[in-house]
A and B are shown apart, each in its own frame.
Chain A
Amino acid sequence: MGGGGGAEEELTAQETALYDRQIRVWGVDAQKRLSKAHVLVCGMNGTTTEFCKNIVLAGVGSLSLMDDHLVTEDDLNANFLIPHDESIYGGRSRAEVCCESLKDFNPMVRVAVEKGDPSLIDGEFLDKFDIIVVSCASIKTKLLINDNCRKRSKHIAFYAIECKDSCGEIFVDLQNHSYVQKVGGEPKPKELAYPSLQEAISVPWKNLPRKTTKLYFAMRVLENYESSEGRNACEASLSDLPAVLALRKDMCDKMSLSESQIPTALLERLLAAGKKQHPPVCAILGGILGQEVIKSISGKGDPIKNFFYYDAADGKGIAEDIPPLSSD
């Protein structure tokens, strides 16, 4: 994070031995900053599980999990933190069961459960954290948390991540992020100003470059649909296709975008996915998000600004900057 502060004390011999290989990637200072960072994850699924594993291994200071939903058989699919044994997970929340497994991964990281409802999170609560990751929540909840993060005097980085079977989206808001960029081996300080989630999803579509990934538009249509129906993320299904197509037409008309930019086949795929997550895609998205959080905490390396998309159908992992700088 911008300051990082008090990275005075040295790493212990135990930390140096454990983190040897990664210190060779990002340096001792970054490792010290990581060990002081506090991360909150709202919503435990295949993708956030992967992310949690990655940052616990990397050695963040603490990780808190918020997800009061009781574990069901559906949760086992893409989640390796839940043992296949109902006598272990039965009657317990996702956060509790995942927390127990994650603790084992790295004894130097504090992993804890935060009970509560992400849609009711207030600003003061957020002050305990440096990084907030939100998944399987409605757009309304995401907007609320993002807004609250931006209102705090403390710098809190916000990430939203969703995986729909073979596709995924990551949104990043680092507000004003200063970091060190390596240009031909020379470190150079750099500043980035991020738009809020609200700004990033309400850009008039006609202002976006023609090459903008189709997934960006498709995700906005689904988001809009789910929120108009009062549903949570990933709760729409294939039976909603006609209504979703009608909404697509409506939105495209309003924002002067050709409907062909949001192919029916793509919407079909996303709706058919429902809550299903494809484990290799979870690994990819969770890996990218892990790297982004490490970059943001360490202040080293170019962070994604401000969306990332992956689609296993074409194999591309794309960073999009929305709204583009020129559209002001």
Chain B
Amino acid sequence: MASSPASAASEEEAVKAAKVLMVGAGGIGCELLKTLALSGFRDIHIIDLDTIEVSNLNRQFLFRQSHVGQSKAHVARDAVLKFRPNINITSYHANVKDAQFNVEFFKQFNVVLNGLDNLDARRHVNRLCLAAEVPLVESGTTGFLGQVTVHVKGKTECYECQPKPVPKSYPVCTITSTPSKFVHCIVWAKELLFAKMFGDKNQDNDLNVRSNESGTSKSDVFERNADEDLDQYARRIYDHVFGYNIEVALENEETWKNRRRPNPIYIRDTLPEEAIRQNGSSRDINNEQEEPSAMVSLGLRNPQEIWSLADNSRVFLEALKLFFEKREKEIGNLVFDKDDQLAVEFVTTAANIRASSFGIPLHSLFEAKGVAGNIVHAVATTNAIIAGLIVIEAIKVLHGDYKKYRMTYCLEHPSRKMLLMPIEPFEPNKSCYVCSETPLLLEVNTKTTKLREVIEKIIKSKLGMNLPLVMIGSTLVFEDGEGLEEDEAANYALNLEKVLAELPAPVVNDTKLTVEDFQQELSCSINIKHRDEFDEEKEPDGMVLSGWSAPVEKQVTSNGGNQSVASSSGADYADGIVEDISTKPGMKRKLDEVLELKENCDASSSAQVVEDDDDDDLVMLDENPKLAKKKRLQ
């Protein structure tokens, strides 16, 4: 490659002999598998859980319309074998978190290449690579931005040494009472209203279900009366959530002292004719359709258009009715899915009507779908570039060119002339709880917090453990996973509901917890600090974990300006998370130095790369900025 003929030959040998694991056969994955095959790799294993969707076809070029619904891993394998029939590709239509992909499995590979679309799986793979001591090349793209990083145990930082962006979550009261942005309305429509109407009835929901209307004896207005006409029901729900509930909220004067007061919206105002008339005209049209759509039945064609309040209201009523007419069996089990047209219509229009109440600008279905589905923008070109960069790093890793490893950022606008910017990898973060043994600190009210909450909110959600085990001293208080004896399982189930201080081995101030995940071969210690009070707004978990890299909330900039990626539910990224370098505190400082060569830089980090003005080579600054400056001035 980029070196002497002898070295090029040995690189070729290393590539031929290598066994590589690819995780993800999506946007980056398709490009990567193709480029690996062309580059001479002969033994490639590929894992992907997903099946092919229409919206993948614009960039996942190994897939065709006829493949929709099939396994990405299998189809990608077959497509590449067509132009490289003599190599081995092993495909797994499976979740990388499955038990079969354990440390032993990872150990058979020379390098692991990630083309993943979610943080959770990335962290899991990072831990397995650390445990199996296999180098990892990690990647992500969003629109025209992308990045490739190299993680080698003991040599460079691990994937979790730096804080990672996570989807933004919002305080409950912003969603339930005081929305100020469209995204708040989307979260309300999706996670409260949609969930209440069509989801699991046993799930907690913060929506007000009480009504003081005379004649309703029920405690839950969302229940449909046995004799109730569907039109009547739909209008009643409309008036309740957009009218009555706003009136109730308005009674709390304190809330509106410094805020714009919302307008209650009733069907008699938005659709005066439909408040009296029964709407039966659209019924027949929908019989022909495979997938019911309210906008289609109402003759609205353009998802890019911003509908009026009246049109939003019509689509809302129609969508609600279509759920009951065409998809009644699913009601009670539905979870919002961005590929479910009717669900998107319901959520879009509900969000728009609410937005209208609160004086927030309305949005098109296309835009609303993007916000509701956390859809990240993705294009083929960035994925192709990033896949090329992954292969270049993979070859260096196989060849053992440790000094040549680079993390590379793909930028939208040139910075110091560069569109592809290589940076020397950072050293491992000494206080990383994943690749070092630094204990964590958890502040929690040990008298009121249940073990279940700590496991869900901290151990699984923040530390990303899959099947955790919790020990207090030498007492095992919880273990997850299969193969437990019945009495053990019953015992652990009991412990889950106990508050910390009342566990068989009580957890109080200064207790040390050990949490482990055998699959990830990750173990960490958590020191407990008891605290009575927590700020509901700033500390919504009711506990605070420190000593770990807290995630940075993610803002995605689209061509339409700023758009927050919403939702407290699982992230859904198109082709991965780009670490928005401007929002990474550690990264920003480092990049500032790279980009602008600030003279007074505080280079306290371990390793840092700066371009020397007179040479194409990269010069490394070390811990002492003065020394570094000297080096550059030579």
B381 near A287: Cβ-Cβ < 8 Å: yes
Whether A78 contacts B38 in the complex (CB less than 8 A), given A283-B385, A288-B385, A315-B406, comes out as yes
Closest to B1 in A: A166
Report B289-315 residues with CB < 8 Å from chain A CB. 301-304
B391 near A21: Cβ-Cβ < 8 Å: no
Cα-based distance from A234 to B533 in the complex (angstroms): 72
B379 adjacent to chain A (CB < 8 Å): yes
Kindly identify which residue among B3, B39, B303, B366 contacts A279, using a CB–CB cutoff of 8 Å. Answer: B39
Kindly identify which residue among A106, A166, A308, A315 contacts B422, using a CB–CB cutoff of 8 Å. Answer: A315
A313 near B2: Cβ-Cβ < 8 Å: yes
Closest to A313 in B: B2
Closest to B375 in A: A24
Stretch at the interface among B57-65, B345-353, B471-479, B496-504: B57-65
A311 adjacent to chain B (CB < 8 Å): yes
B54 adjacent to chain A (CB < 8 Å): yes
Q: B340 → chain A, closest Cβ, in Å?
A: 14
Q: A177 → chain B, closest Cβ, in Å?
A: 16
Closest to B575 in A: A21
Cα-based distance from A313 to B580 in the complex (angstroms): 26
Closest to A59 in B: B58
A80 near B85: Cβ-Cβ < 8 Å: no
B414 adjacent to chain A (CB < 8 Å): yes
A290 near B381: Cβ-Cβ < 8 Å: yes
Closest to A181 in B: B413
Cα-based distance from A279 to B65 in the complex (angstroms): 27
Q: Which chain A positions have C-beta within 8 A of B410?
A: 317
Q: B15 → chain A, closest Cβ, in Å?
A: 11
Q: Which chain B positions have C-beta within 8 A of A315?
A: 389, 392, 406, 408, 420, 422
Report A88-123 residues with CB < 8 Å from chain B CB. 104-107
A319 near B5: Cβ-Cβ < 8 Å: no
A25 near B392: Cβ-Cβ < 8 Å: no
Report B399-426 residues with CB < 8 Å from chain A CB. 406, 408, 410, 412-414, 417-422
A301 near B558: Cβ-Cβ < 8 Å: no
Q: Could you give, for residues 65-93 of chain A, a 1 whenever the CB lies within 8 Å of some chain B CB and a 0 otherwise?
A: 00000000000011111111000000000
A25 near B378: Cβ-Cβ < 8 Å: yes
B1 near A312: Cβ-Cβ < 8 Å: yes
Stretch at the interface among A12-20, A143-151, A154-162: A12-20
Max count, chain A CB within 10 A of own CB: residue among B37, B80, B378, B388: B388
B419 near A290: Cβ-Cβ < 8 Å: no
Q: Which chain A positions have C-beta within 8 A of B57?
A: 18, 106
Q: A280 → chain B, closest Cβ, in Å?
A: 4
Cα-based distance from A279 to B422 in the complex (angstroms): 19
Report B17-75 residues with CB < 8 Å from chain A CB. 31, 34-35, 37-39, 54-55, 57-59, 61, 64-65
B84 adjacent to chain A (CB < 8 Å): yes
Q: Which chain B positions have C-beta within 8 A of A27?
A: 559-560
Whether A20 contacts B58 in the complex (CB less than 8 A), given A54-B384, A280-B39, A318-B418, comes out as yes
A269 adjacent to chain B (CB < 8 Å): yes
A283 near B377: Cβ-Cβ < 8 Å: no
A26 near B559: Cβ-Cβ < 8 Å: yes
Cα-based distance from A20 to B57 in the complex (angstroms): 10
A105 near B61: Cβ-Cβ < 8 Å: yes
Q: Which chain B positions have C-beta within 8 A of A58?
A: 58, 379-381
Cα-based distance from A206 to B391 in the complex (angstroms): 38
Q: A46 → chain B, closest Cβ, in Å?
A: 8
Whether A84 contacts B144 in the complex (CB less than 8 A), given A278-B1, A283-B388, comes out as no
B382 adjacent to chain A (CB < 8 Å): yes
Cα-based distance from A108 to B512 in the complex (angstroms): 62
Q: Could you give, for residues 130-144 of chain A, a 1 whenever the CB lies within 8 Å of some chain B CB and a 0 otherwise?
A: 000000000000000
Stretch at the interface among B435-443, B589-597, B612-620: B612-620
A282 adjacent to chain B (CB < 8 Å): yes
B65 near A107: Cβ-Cβ < 8 Å: yes
Cα-based distance from A327 to B39 in the complex (angstroms): 42
Q: Which chain A positions have C-beta within 8 A of B408?
A: 315
A310 adjacent to chain B (CB < 8 Å): yes
Q: Could you give, for residues 493-520 of chain B, a 1 whenever the CB lies within 8 Å of some chain A CB and a 0 otherwise?
A: 0000000000000000000000000000
B59 near A280: Cβ-Cβ < 8 Å: no
A312 near B2: Cβ-Cβ < 8 Å: yes
Q: Which chain A positions have C-beta within 8 A of B82?
A: 83
B387 adjacent to chain A (CB < 8 Å): yes
Cα-based distance from A193 to B375 in the complex (angstroms): 37
A25 near B377: Cβ-Cβ < 8 Å: yes
A240 adjacent to chain B (CB < 8 Å): no
Q: Could you give, for residues 279-296 of chain A, a 1 whenever the CB lies within 8 Å of some chain B CB and a 0 otherwise?
A: 111111011101100100
Cα-based distance from A301 to B379 in the complex (angstroms): 15
Q: A53 → chain B, closest Cβ, in Å?
A: 6
Report B54-106 residues with CB < 8 Å from chain A CB. 54-55, 57-59, 61, 64-65, 80, 82-86
Closest to B38 in A: A279
Cα-based distance from A284 to B378 in the complex (angstroms): 16
Closest to B406 in A: A315
Cα-based distance from A301 to B412 in the complex (angstroms): 8
Whether A17 contacts B55 in the complex (CB less than 8 A), given A53-B61, A316-B422, comes out as yes
Q: Which chain B positions have C-beta within 8 A of A302?
A: 413-414
A280 near B370: Cβ-Cβ < 8 Å: no
Max count, chain B CB within 10 A of own CB: residue among A272, A282, A312: A312
Q: Which chain A positions have C-beta within 8 A of B143?
A: 24-25
A10 adjacent to chain B (CB < 8 Å): yes
Cα-based distance from A106 to B58 in the complex (angstroms): 8
Q: A14 → chain B, closest Cβ, in Å?
A: 9
B562 adjacent to chain A (CB < 8 Å): yes
Whether A294 contacts B419 in the complex (CB less than 8 A), given A19-B58, A280-B389, A315-B408, comes out as no
Q: Which chain A positions have C-beta within 8 A of B39?
A: 278-280
A165 adjacent to chain B (CB < 8 Å): yes
Q: A105 → chain B, closest Cβ, in Å?
A: 6
A185 adjacent to chain B (CB < 8 Å): yes
B385 near A287: Cβ-Cβ < 8 Å: yes
Q: B16 → chain A, closest Cβ, in Å?
A: 14
A124 adjacent to chain B (CB < 8 Å): no
Q: Which chain B positions have C-beta within 8 A of A288?
A: 381, 385, 419
A316 near B379: Cβ-Cβ < 8 Å: no
A80 near B34: Cβ-Cβ < 8 Å: yes
Q: Which chain B positions have C-beta within 8 A of A308?
A: 419
Whether A185 contacts B561 in the complex (CB less than 8 A), given A80-B38, A287-B382, comes out as yes
A272 near B5: Cβ-Cβ < 8 Å: yes
Cα-based distance from A265 to B35 in the complex (angstroms): 27
Kindly identify which residue among B1, B37, B417, B614 contacts A320, using a CB–CB cutoff of 8 Å. Answer: B417
Closest to A289 in B: B381
Whether A10 contacts B418 in the complex (CB less than 8 A), given A54-B384, A185-B562, comes out as no
Kindly identify which residue among B389, B417, B560, B618 contacts A284, using a CB–CB cutoff of 8 Å. Answer: B389
Q: Which chain B positions have C-beta within 8 A of A248?
A: none
Kindly identify which residue among A23, A24, A79, A282 contacts B388, using a CB–CB cutoff of 8 Å. Answer: A282
B86 near A84: Cβ-Cβ < 8 Å: yes
B621 adjacent to chain A (CB < 8 Å): no
Report B344-401 residues with CB < 8 Å from chain A CB. 366, 370, 375-385, 387-392, 395
Q: B394 → chain A, closest Cβ, in Å?
A: 9
Q: Which chain B positions have C-beta within 8 A of A53?
A: 61, 380, 384
Cα-based distance from A182 to B413 in the complex (angstroms): 11
Cα-based distance from A78 to B417 in the complex (angstroms): 28
Q: Which chain B positions have C-beta within 8 A of A213?
A: 616
Whether A104 contacts B64 in the complex (CB less than 8 A), given A21-B379, A313-B2, comes out as yes
Report B227-247 residues with CB < 8 Å from chain A CB. none
Further pairs besides A25-B558, A281-B388, A315-B408: 15, Cβ < 8 Å = A18-B54, A25-B559, A58-B58, A58-B381, A80-B34, A80-B37, A80-B38, A280-B391, A283-B31, A283-B388, A283-B391, A287-B388, A308-B419, A314-B617, A319-B414
Q: Can you pick out 11 interface pairs between chain A and chain B where the beta carbons lie within 8 Å of each other?
A: A21-B58, A22-B377, A25-B377, A83-B83, A280-B35, A280-B391, A281-B388, A283-B387, A287-B384, A314-B422, A318-B418
3 smallest CB-CB distances across A and B, nearest first, come from A317-B420, A315-B422, A283-B388
